[in-house]
Structure 1
Amino acid sequence: MPKPGPAAPEPGSPANGQADGAQSPLDTGVAHIARVYDYWLGGKDNYAADRAAGDAVIQAYPGVITTVRANRALLTRMVRYLADEAGIRQFLDLGTGIPAASNTHEVAQSVIPGARVVYVDNDPIVLAHARALLTSGPAGITSYLDADLRDPRPILEQAADTLDFSQPMAVMLMGVMHLISDADDPLGIVTSLMSAAPEGSYLALSHPAADIDADAMANAQQRQNQMQAEQVTFRRRDEVARFFDGLEMVEPGLVRAPEWRPAGQAEAQTTAALWGGLGRKA
């Protein structure tokens, strides 16, 4: 487990970090999942290749836009629960994506102004936008790491510059583990991250569902893999549940994303091929 890091940056000031060998070249001619996701959310930080890939997936699974919006809404509800009800003050947000509405630090610091958030991604466009837009409130801290989720060690080492690994934290893996193939040991990655987190920490995770609207999701996965550099692996509920092995699930457990503590009945009835859950390390 990493030791508590050195003194954190002054509150309100962003801190930069970069994992060894994590620099990624910018290629706008090839679709990138973060920019495709931005396109689905109605953002402007995407290119023709991203839009073409996004449209191809929409043709295969028209519910993809509803699903990515459900993922964003789930992140907001989970962060608010963690800060407001669980008292979590530290967040490690992996696979940040291009900033959108209600980012992790904004939600957390609206409840706990001194909350600390470390964002991790390995897309140069994501990082450029993060450093420009994900600005901490005056009492809190945000930092950004250019790092690959497939190698947790440097992430944990550098996150310790901002986060205190002797205190509970939330590890956020929202809509990112489908980018990790079975060959890259996704369970091992999650285990490494949660092993480094102290007791009382939480794992917040969402994952595209292979077993909701299965035929359409299989077509969507195939289209996405044909048109973007990053290959995706959608998983069944029982496969996603394994990420939470050894953790205490927060009610209502691992459910369709809109069913996790929805704001109202209309949200609960939203159609989304996405599993989501929150587990606590006891």
Structure 2
Amino acid sequence: MPGTYEVRPPAATQPAPIDLERASQARVYDVLLGGKNAFEVDRQFVQELLKIAPELPELTRQNRRWMAEAVTRMATGGRIDQFLDLGAGLPTADNTHDVALRTDAAAKVVYVDHDLTAIAHGQALLADEHSSFFAGVDLTDAGAVLTHPAVTGALDLTRPVGILLGLVLHSTADPAAVVADYLAAVPVGSYLALTHPINPRDGGRLAQFSTAIEGKLRDTFPHIRFRTRDEVAALLDGLELVEPGLVDLASWWPDDERKLSSAGAARLLLVALGRKVA
């Protein structure tokens, strides 16, 4: 229940300066979406990834499409009018606030990211906004996030909140703690939208494909870890899942709305939308 969660003091660390010799996850994601806010090191890294999985740009776009669908469902069926977008990355088309405001003109959104490029572009995008805000902190430090002025000023954590964790938990060492911290801070009726890459680690073709992508990512991002379906499902314990539950990206959509084959790279990504009920 909200009020029983003790916010830990924020970590007293400062973000490192932008490293132009090393790819950034936020900028790599932007390149895969067709964005231009990247450096040559990011574009070269993406080219290496595409040699292993040429479907990744489409998969990334469909992940974005799913996140927009999750926001729409939370805003309509769940009547959520405030959102916390954790690990938001660089601004692109159909940002969370764009989607939320189409349903409710009074909706509030706080974006959270500690990538310096994301901070610069996010703050510039939202400079004239009155419904959307940016907190330049590490999402894994729930204390820093939940006490940040952008969060405390925009969101009422005594009312239900929509929490977004899109393609970020595979970059965290303890995703269960991250999810638990945020769910403990919001009331019953709040929602969690999650997408996470999978590696079944069973020796099959999908496992081999996942391991190849995971290995390439770890060359630059050593903390990356894809997880099994059971591991991802455990992150959602206690939540009431919206149909069709925890499924791969292609299987979420009705057959006539699918953009990706369920036999291809779409099986790499699990998605789920869950409601806090206790």
Normalised by the size of structure 2, how large is the TM-score?
0.88
Is the CA contact 1:20–1:154 (under 8 Å) kept in the aligned structure 2? no
- Please say if 1:121 is aligned against 2:116: no
Is the CA contact 2:239–2:275 (under 8 Å) kept in the aligned structure 1? yes
1:85 aligned residue (67, 77, 101): 77
Number of equivalent positions: 262
Is the CA contact 1:203–1:280 (under 8 Å) kept in the aligned structure 2? yes
Is the CA contact 1:38–1:45 (under 8 Å) kept in the aligned structure 2? yes
- Please say if 1:231 is aligned against 2:223: yes
Taking the aligned partners of 1:188 and 1:47, their CA distance within structure 2 comes to: 33
- Select between 248-257 and 50-59 the one with higher mean Cα deviation: 50-59
Residues 131 and 41 (structure 1 numbering): CA distance in 2 closer, same or farther, change over 3 Å?
same
Which sections of structure 1, spanning at least 5 residues, go unmatched?
4-17
- Please say if 1:107 is aligned against 2:99: yes
Percent identical residues: 37
Residues 220 and 257 (structure 1 numbering): CA distance in 2 closer, same or farther, change over 3 Å?
same
Q: CA deviation at 1:21?
A: 2.5
Residues 119 and 2 (structure 1 numbering): CA distance in 2 closer, same or farther, change over 3 Å?
farther
Q: Higher relative contact order at CA 8 Å, sep ≥6: structure 1 or structure 2? A: 1
Which sections of structure 2, spanning at least 5 residues, go unmatched?
5-9
Alignment of 1:106-255 (within 5 A): 106-134=98-126, 141-158=131-148, 159-181=151-173, 185-211=174-200, 213-226=206-219, 228-229=220-221, 231-255=223-247
Alignment of 1:50-89 (within 5 A): 50-89=42-81
Residues 102 and 136 (structure 1 numbering): CA distance in 2 closer, same or farther, change over 3 Å?
farther
Instruction: Give 3-state SS (helix, strand or coil) of 1:275's partner.
Output: strand
CA deviation vs aligned residue, 1:41-71 (integer Å, no higher than 9, x gap): 1110111111121121211222222221121
Q: Which residue of 2 aligns with 1:276?
A: 271
Q: CA deviation at 1:23?
A: 2.8
- Select between 203-212 and 271-280 the one with higher mean Cα deviation: 203-212
Amino acid at match of 1:221: E
Taking the aligned partners of 1:135 and 1:113, their CA distance within structure 2 comes to: 18
Instruction: Give 3-state SS (helix, strand or coil) of 1:34's partner.
Output: helix
